[in-house]
Amino acid sequence: MSIRIKGTGSALPLKTVTNNELSRFVDTTDEWIIERTGIESRHIATGETVDMLAGEAAWKALLDAGVDADKIDLIIVATCSAEQALPCIACQVQKHIGAVNAVAFDINAACAGFLFAMNTADAYISGGIYNNALIIGAEVLSNIVNWSDRTTCILFGDGAGAVYFEKDDRPLKFIQKSNGFKDDVLFCWQRDSVSVFYRGVQTYKYVTMDGREVFRFATRVVSETINELLSNEGLTADDIDLFILHQANLRIIESISKRLGVDMSKFPTNVERLGNTSSASIPLLVDEVRKEGRLKEGMRIVLSGFGAGLTYSACLMEL
Ligand code: COA
């Protein structure tokens, strides 16, 4: 038993911010950002919240699938930038779309979150507990980046993507891994303590990153994990029609394509227009390529994400 894509949807904040706009308040240039990251612009929230974007993407995915909200069994939202601690965003989505019969909860595995959520849904559905799931990646990272740090604020964007899955019997395989010992290369201590007993010092309230280390980690583990996943199934990278990777940086994607020995034409990208939207990047790209008609019956695709934790995952899916 496994799960199959039945509908997809996206939501982006209205405001687009170009590199030139960023260069007005941090010491950077359009040329530097494009050369080092491939990013030209990103959508930034000016009032949109994680639950609003998640709800809109979810609603569009259901519309696309032609499914009524009261038929949904499970809603999982992957996010690391929710404005609210309680209740979880998935419960907010349940309310927004009227999914009265769904069980709803959030997962935080940073930029690998969507795949961790998808793997969780697959386990529930393959275990016979639920028949379908609405999986959403949603972020307003602009709330947690330091807008005076040119090394990080240029990278991220806001948005949400949703995929509605139903039970199926086509092959679906996952590898997911975590390395909490590397928690110091990418982190954010988001909240101020309000405890009267708290005596610690509140620092690192923004996304803090060792960019070079993350770059090295991503290029190595993603290609290794994809190769491991494929060799487990007796496949090679040549057997795959499309690689839908977390959109962190165009150079990372190009390096992975080189390491796998696969032409970049099999790696669709939207990082140029959306920046790194963390857990939203994979479902946003899935929605985009699906609407472009690039996902066809019988294709084999690989999805792969990596992020803070460190966490990383790869998924092999037959359409
Ligand atoms: N504009 C202009 N100059 C910048 C800059 C910016 N936005 N950000 C950094 N610089 C400068 C640095 O200060 C440094 O200057 P120096 O040589 O005078 O010290 C120089 O550019 C090179 O910095 P470096 O950090 O070595 O650049 P890089 O080639 O490693 O690129 C990243 C930086 C962040 C783009 C790159 O490391 C990266 O993409 N890492 C992965 C990040 C990521 O994807 N994170 C999310 C994972 S989910």
Q: Which of 244, 14, 53 is nearest to 136 (CA)?
A: 53
Judge whether residue 205 has pLDDT over 90: no
Q: What is the pLDDT of residues 41-72, one digit of tens each?
A: 999 999 999 999 999 999 999 999 999 999 99
CA 23 to chain centroid: 26
Q: Is 276 a catalytic residue?
A: yes
Q: Which domains, from first to last, does the chain contain? A: 2-169 (3.40.47.10), 174-318 (3.40.47.10)
Q: How many angstroms separate the alpha carbon of residue 152 from the centre of ligand 1?
A: 8
Please name the helix (run of DSSP H) or strand (run of DSSP E) that holds residue 149, with its range, or none: none
The reply to whether ligand 1 has any atom less than 6 angstroms from the CB of 221 is no
Mean pLDDT of 227-239: 97
| Cβ atoms of residues 281 and 303 within 8 Å | no
| Cβ atoms of residues 38 and 272 within 8 Å | yes
Task: Report the atom number in ligand 1 closest to the C-alpha of 306.
Answer: 48
Judge whether residue 91 has pLDDT over 90: yes
Q: Is 96 a catalytic residue?
A: no
What are residue 177's phi and psi, to 5 degrees? -140, 155
Q: What is the pLDDT of residues 266-316, one digit of tens each?
A: 999 999 999 999 999 999 999 999 999 999 999 999 999 999 999 999 999
Q: What is the pTM of this model?
A: 0.96
Going by alpha carbons, the residue nearest to atom 40 of ligand 1 is: 211
Going by alpha carbons, the residue nearest to atom 42 of ligand 1 is: 211
The band of 201, judged by pLDDT with boundaries at 50, 70 and 90, is confident
Share the mean pLDDT of the chain. Answer: 95
Q: What is the pLDDT of residue 224?
A: 96
Its sign, for the CA torsion 179, 238, 274, 63, is negative
Q: Which of 288, 267, 270 is nearest to 60 (CA)?
A: 288
Task: Report the atom number in ligand 1 closest to the C-alpha of 307.
Answer: 48
Which residue do the tokens 């386990």 mark? 123
Site to probe by mutation for ligand 1, drawn from 81, 215, 221 as the one with most ligand atoms within 8 Å of Cβ, is 215
Q: What is the pLDDT of residue 238?
A: 96
Q: What is the pLDDT of residue 90?
A: 98
The band of 170, judged by pLDDT with boundaries at 50, 70 and 90, is confident
Task: Report the atom number in ligand 1 closest to the C-alpha of 218.
Answer: 47
The band of 197, judged by pLDDT with boundaries at 50, 70 and 90, is confident
The band of 128, judged by pLDDT with boundaries at 50, 70 and 90, is very high
Judge whether residue 204 has pLDDT over 90: no
Please name the helix (run of DSSP H) or strand (run of DSSP E) that holds residue 246, with its range, or none: none
What is d(CA 168, CA 188) in angstroms, rounded to the nearest whole number?
38
